[in-house]
């Protein structure tokens, strides 16, 4: 299992997917930092020059749009790449069970998403300090967690996307669904029950942390765990039963 | 014990029977050619042996072990290229093989060894996306050989290769069987390709194995008949009858069914009787004849 996991990273080490995903996640942060730096005087006057405002504007990108697209892209690619390069036959003729192969893909995709988000979060903290925001550890931690936690919840899209890619053997269905559901998420933004819609869970977590909705934190977390477990199960069943010749 | 054996192997896709009650026996250390037209069921059979497709019915054994029950053992002892060999195009040949070696728990020094076996050492650090079809095919074999399998399965290995590449691959497969004592199963729809390389042949037609035989026992490459063209047909006919030979006359040609050592005697008798021989050629039994006969017979039995 460890070797399967290790080689999942090796396979994509030279591909553009990880870099593209990282830079796509980094782009809103860099743009925000530039804007904050250039307009620091007017932002200070209007009481906008602080962590909350920066994180709020970043979450507009992440929770509402990029936050679903990037993890979905990584997950879809982890499976679709094997179809595209016709390497699935090789993989399935290795002495590993199909469950192990699929779990390695899910764990590696989740790890990449977590690593990208932690990297973006660290960069955001560094830039925040350079901009001169409150530098006490407690404040930095409390404020920036609002950026990190909702984004970490996006790993729930991994099994959904892997299930769709395995079922349709195409990247299109998963990616179209992601875009459509990300748009639908706008309609549910401030709803207390938004956690029932998987694509709203990250933004719902953010709004709970920000105090804009009153739902208990346990609801979106439970909902995310249920969705993750359900699609993990469905993906494993689909992969185990899959006839790769069809 | 057979290297690979299938018993009553059957696979259906809705109403279409891809493989029907297939009983194949592949002896150890030989090259087995699985011959059949496109869509005959060759690839489905190979996929089932490799566990890529589940059979609806039947048993597959590798060295006597049931592959369904001992799948991991089977996968450790079989190497295969199923259809086109696939590789991560963004990685070099060496890295691709290193992934296989690592996943199979094989020492990394084996990567260089197999690259040398297939003659790709010089191109080892090239990205696979820049490889030609022939190079990919050879890399596919290297990938299948990395864990020193006892059985190597090659599905249509000459697909996309030029004549020179086909020759090289043929020599290479033969040397593998001889030097490394690997049992090779190769599928093909090209009769001449299989005829030149295989020790055993299985003819598959519409999912059924209709013939299975050893080339050396089948009488191939022995004379089937002599084709004779002379200036005086009626006189030649008399001589052939007098010699008690089995023959047929088709227009100006005689088809004489006799052993090769009788050819000299026939020509001597004809010349001695003042007959001019325009043409006398020895026609060998071919796999094509056998294949067409077997397929024809299978069609008749269906009708």
- Tell if the CB–CB gap between A244 and B53 is shorter than 8 Å: yes
Percent of chain B whose pLDDT exceeds 70: 96
Can you give the pLDDT at residue A139? 78
pLDDT of A246 over the 60 cut: no
The whole-angstrom separation of Cα A28 and Cα A38 is: 15
Indicate whether B121 pLDDT > 80.
Answer: yes
* pLDDT, average across residues B235-243: 89
Mean pLDDT over A127-134 rounds to: 81
The helix/strand/coil state of B162 is coil
Considering only CA atoms, which of A238, A87, A242, A224 is closest in space to residue A158?
A: A224
Angstrom distance (rounded) from CA A79 to CA A83: 7
User: Which residues does chain B have within 8 Å of residue A10's beta carbon, measured at their own beta carbons?
Assistant: 91, 95, 98-99
pLDDT above 80 (res B161): no
Name every residue in B having a CB less than 8 A away from some CB of A: 13, 43-44, 47, 50-54, 72, 75-76, 78, 80, 82-91, 95, 98-100, 102-105, 143
**Which among B84, B105, B143 is the nearest to A86, CB-wise?**
B84
Instruction: Decide if pLDDT at A147 tops 90.
Output: no
In this predicted model, what pLDDT tens digit does every residue of B172-199 receive, in sequence order? Answer: 888 878 887 889 999 888 887 788 888 8
User: A235 pLDDT exceeds 90?
Assistant: yes
Q: Is the pLDDT of residue B262 over 80?
A: yes
Which chain A residue has the Cα nearest residue B49? Answer: A93
**Pick from B229, B264, B271: nearest CA to B247:** B229
Span A68-98, pLDDT tens digits: 888 998 999 889 888 888 888 888 888 898 9
Asked if residue A236 has pLDDT above 60, the reply is yes
Q: What is the mean pLDDT of residues B38-47?
A: 87
Whole-complex ipTM: 0.81
Query: Residue B155: which H helix or E strand, with range?
Result: strand B151-155
* From A15, A85, A96, residue closest to B86, measured CB to CB: A85
The verdict on a CB contact (< 8 Å) between A92 and B51 is yes
pLDDT of amino acid B81: 86
Q: Any CB–CB contact under 8 A between A96 and chain B?
A: yes
Residue A238's pLDDT band, with cuts at 50, 70 and 90, is: very high
H or E segment at B205? strand B200-205
Indicate the pTM of the whole model. Answer: 0.79
Q: What's the pLDDT at A245?
A: 64
Q: For position A1, what pLDDT does the model report?
A: 79
Are the beta carbons of A95 and B99 separated by less than 8 Å? no
pLDDT digits (tens, 9 = 90+) for A148-196: 888 888 899 999 999 999 999 888 888 898 888 888 887 777 777 888 8
Strand B253-257 and strand B277-284: the pairing is unpaired
Closest-CA distance of chain A to residue B1, Å: 23
Hey, what are A85's tokens?
Answer: 């390069």
Q: How far is B151 from chain A (nearest CA, A)?
A: 13
pLDDT at B301: 63
- pLDDT tens, position by position, B213-230: 887 776 666 777 889 999
Specify which residues B250 forms β-bridges with.
B253
Per-residue pLDDT of A15-74, as tens digits, reads 788 888 888 888 888 888 888 888 888 877 877 777 878 888 888 777 767 778 889 989
pLDDT digits (tens, 9 = 90+) for A97-124: 899 999 999 999 999 999 988 998 898 8
Cα A126 from Cα A33, distance rounded (Å): 11
- H-only helix segments in A169-211: 172-185, 201-209
Is A90 touching B (CB cutoff 8 A)? Answer: yes
Would you place residue B207 in the very low, low, confident or very high pLDDT band (cuts 50, 70, 90)?
confident
Residue B103 has its nearest CB partner, among A15, A81, A94, at A94
Average pLDDT over residues B263-292: 85
| Residue count (chain A) | 246
Band of the pLDDT at A204, cuts 50, 70, 90? confident
Mean of the per-residue pLDDT values of chain B:
85
Q: Which residues between 9 and 68 in chain A have a beta carbon less than 8 angstroms from any beta carbon of chain B?
A: 10-11, 13-15
What radius of gyration do chain B's Cα atoms show?
A: 24
Domain boundaries, chain A: 2-241
| Mean pLDDT to the nearest integer, B1-13 | 89
> Does B302 score more than 60 pLDDT?
no
Tell me: the pLDDT tens digits for B11-30?
888 888 888 888 999 998 88
């Amino acid at each position: 299992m460890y070797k399967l996991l290790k080689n999942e990273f090796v396979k994509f080490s030279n591909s553009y997917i990880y870099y593209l995903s990282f830079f796509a996640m980094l782009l809103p942060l860099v743009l925000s930092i530039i804007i904050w730096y250039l307009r620091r005087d007017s932002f200070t006057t209007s009481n906008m020059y602080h962590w909350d405002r920066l994180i709020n504007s970043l979450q507009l990108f992440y929770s509402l749009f990029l936050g679903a697209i990037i993890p979905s892209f990584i997950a879809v690619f982890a499976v679709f790449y094997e179809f595209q390069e016709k390497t699935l036959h090789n993989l399935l003729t290795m002495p590993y069970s199909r469950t192990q192969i699929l779990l390695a893909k899910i764990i590696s995709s989740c790890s990449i998403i977590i690593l990208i988000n932690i990297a973006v979060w660290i960069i955001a903290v560094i830039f925040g300090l350079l901009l001169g925001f409150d530098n006490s550890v407690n404040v930095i931690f409390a404020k920036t967690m609002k950026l990190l936690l909702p984004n970490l919840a996006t790993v729930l899209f991994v099994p959904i996307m892997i299930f769709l890619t395995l079922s349709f053997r195409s990247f299109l269905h998963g990616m179209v669904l992601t875009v459509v559901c990300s748009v639908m998420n706008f309609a549910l933004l401030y709803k207390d029950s938004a956690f029932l819609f998987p694509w709203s869970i990250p933004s719902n977590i953010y709004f709970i942390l920000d105090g804009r909705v009153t739902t208990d934190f346990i609801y979106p977390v439970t909902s995310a765990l249920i969705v993750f477990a359900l699609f993990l199960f469905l993906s494993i069943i689909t992969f185990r039963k899959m006839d790769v010749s069809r | 014990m057979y290297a690979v054996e299938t018993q009553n192997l059957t696979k259906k896709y809705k109403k279409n029977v891809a493989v029907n009650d297939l009983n194949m026996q592949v002896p150890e250390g030989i090259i087995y050619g699985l011959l059949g037209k496109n869509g005959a069921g060759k690839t489905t059979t190979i996929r089932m042996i490799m566990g890529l497709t589940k059979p609806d019915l039947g048993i597959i054994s590798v060295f006597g072990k049931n592959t369904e029950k001992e799948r991991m053992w089977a996968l450790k002892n079989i190497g295969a290229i199923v259809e086109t060999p696939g590789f991560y195009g963004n990685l070099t040949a060496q890295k691709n093989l290193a992934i296989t070696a690592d996943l199979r728990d094989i020492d990394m020094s084996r990567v260089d060894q197999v690259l040398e076996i297939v003659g790709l050492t010089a191109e080892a650090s090239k990205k696979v996306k820049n490889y030609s079809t022939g190079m990919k095919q050879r890399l596919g074999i290297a990938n299948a050989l990395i864990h020193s399998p006892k059985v190597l399965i090659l599905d249509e290995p000459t697909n996309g290769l030029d004549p020179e590449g086909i020759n090289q691959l043929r020599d290479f497969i033969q040397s593998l069987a001889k030097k490394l004592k690997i049992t090779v199963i190769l599928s093909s729809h090209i009769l001449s390709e299989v005829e030149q390389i295989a020790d055993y042949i299985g003819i598959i037609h519409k999912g059924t194995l209709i013939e299975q035989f050893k080339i050396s026992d089948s009488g191939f490459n022995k004379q089937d008949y002599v084709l004779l063209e002379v200036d005086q047909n009626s006189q030649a006919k008399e001589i052939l009858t007098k010699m008690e030979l089995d023959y047929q006359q088709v227009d100006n040609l005689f088809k004489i069914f006799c052993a090769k050592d009788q050819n000299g005697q026939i020509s001597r008798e004809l010349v001695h009787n003042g007959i001019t021989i325009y043409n006398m050629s020895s026609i060998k039994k071919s796999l094509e004849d056998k294949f067409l006969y077997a397929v024809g017979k299978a069609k008749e039995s269906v009708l």
